[in-house]
Structure 1
């Protein structure tokens, strides 16, 4: 107990000594600065100027980044709104008209010999044609409500016929709904099926070329809203 008290007194005494020496050092510094003010003030002025300029630059940089971020967010919102406006017309189509419309988009982007099946028993080939480079394109069209998701069962059927039955070089599964389930998209990626959800279809409708959309394969806004199978 006595040893603990001695240690406590020693610590207290040490703190007091440090405080005293701190005050002394501060006073010495003040006296030195006053005595050498003609040499000190340019340095202090330069330090202050650098601090002010640095602070102003930091504020401007933050403002610029905030403005760029807001501009990007606004552009993304406007692009999404434009896609949805164009998709409103697509939503009004019947499933037969939707298949015909997809064929028109294929022709617009340079596809040749484009044929619409338009009948049951087509084994997943709603639209068939050839890309500009000669590859055979087989398209499965699903006219679903926007809130739905393409299931893995839907994808399995197309996987089983796109190449084995129709000899597709490029197999495209396009839908008006916002997403593919996780299992459906995983199957599409593994089997080389191009998955175009609502957001990518909206970009296609707005003028994006089909061959620029093929490498995206399910990416974009739709994947963030994907549900599980």
Structure 2
């Protein structure tokens, strides 16, 4: 006796629970229920106001049902419900995919935008900077930007608590390590020998500087200049800083080479 093999339904194994799709499914279902409720209220209102018209509509509806009864037999209520649920689920998935695509398109930067940003950064670096108008953090960043503009590599702003005198570190185009201390002082306040000695005690031994420089918006006292000359520290005063900013002067590493010649 041969037993007919029962056709096995293949389940969609790749379908997983998606919160967004499920939420959209129930939203669409709620909208359909609201529309059905609205239509039911309209039907009740028609029955109350125009009973004759309501009766005619009911008779026409019964006639349509009787004429298409063979078709209704083929379509069970469960099948209709399943098809409706599948249609709603497909609509929810489509809406979910559309939202995801729109979000990705809005957050993905374009290559043109990146190029424009790089051009803006280059333009800012090439503009003269009035360091006297900056605060201490802005002054350190401006010095770092000047190093970048002049071709230095691995430029970092490291100033802060525990920096041991190093505010900006970099490597010159020829590979020398530069340690810069930034002193944003007013015209009446000069960099003294004590500041210079504290920097001189760490710039070479701790930070391993090939070029050590103190850059200020003001000037240096005579003892500070004397100590710097003995230790090989480059001193950049306010006038030399302005020349460096507008491109008519040299960076501290070039000034160190000039001093040794």
Aligned-residue offset at 1:92: 1.1
| Residue number in structure 2 paired with 1:214 | 256
| Residue number in structure 2 paired with 1:115 | 156
The 8 Å contact of residues 155 and 187 in structure 1, kept in 2 or not, is answered as yes
Deviations along 1:10-59, whole A, 9 cap, x unmatched? Answer: xxxxxxxxxxxxxxxxxxxxxxxxxxxxxxxxxxxxxxxxxxxxxxxxxx
The 8 Å contact of residues 177 and 211 in structure 2, kept in 1 or not, is answered as yes
Normalised to the residue count of structure 1, the TM-score between the two structures is 0.54
The 8 Å contact of residues 212 and 234 in structure 2, kept in 1 or not, is answered as yes
CA distance in 1, matches of 2:225, 2:250: 22
Pairing of 1:36-185 with structure 2 (within 5 A): 89-177=130-218, 179-185=219-225
Larger radius of gyration: 2
CA distance in 2, matches of 1:165, 1:129: 15
Contiguous gaps of at least 5 residues in structure 2:
1-127
| Counterparts in 2 of 1:159 and 1:195: CA distance versus 1, 3 Å | same
CA distance in 2, matches of 1:118, 1:157: 15
Aligned-residue offset at 1:90: 1.4
Equivalenced residue count is: 130
The 8 Å contact of residues 114 and 129 in structure 1, kept in 2 or not, is answered as yes
Aligned-residue offset at 1:215: 4.7
CA distance in 2, matches of 1:184, 1:192: 12
Aligned-residue offset at 1:149: 1.0
The 8 Å contact of residues 169 and 177 in structure 2, kept in 1 or not, is answered as yes
The 8 Å contact of residues 150 and 180 in structure 1, kept in 2 or not, is answered as yes
2:195 pairs with 1:195: no
| Residue number in structure 2 paired with 1:6 | none
> Quick check: 135-144 or 206-215, which moved more?
206-215
Higher relative contact order (CA 8 A, sep 6+): 1
Aligned-residue offset at 1:206: 1.1
- Partner SS for 1:164: coil
CA distance in 2, matches of 1:138, 1:153: 18
The 8 Å contact of residues 129 and 138 in structure 1, kept in 2 or not, is answered as yes
CA distance in 2, matches of 1:104, 1:214: 20
CA distance in 1, matches of 2:210, 2:254: 16
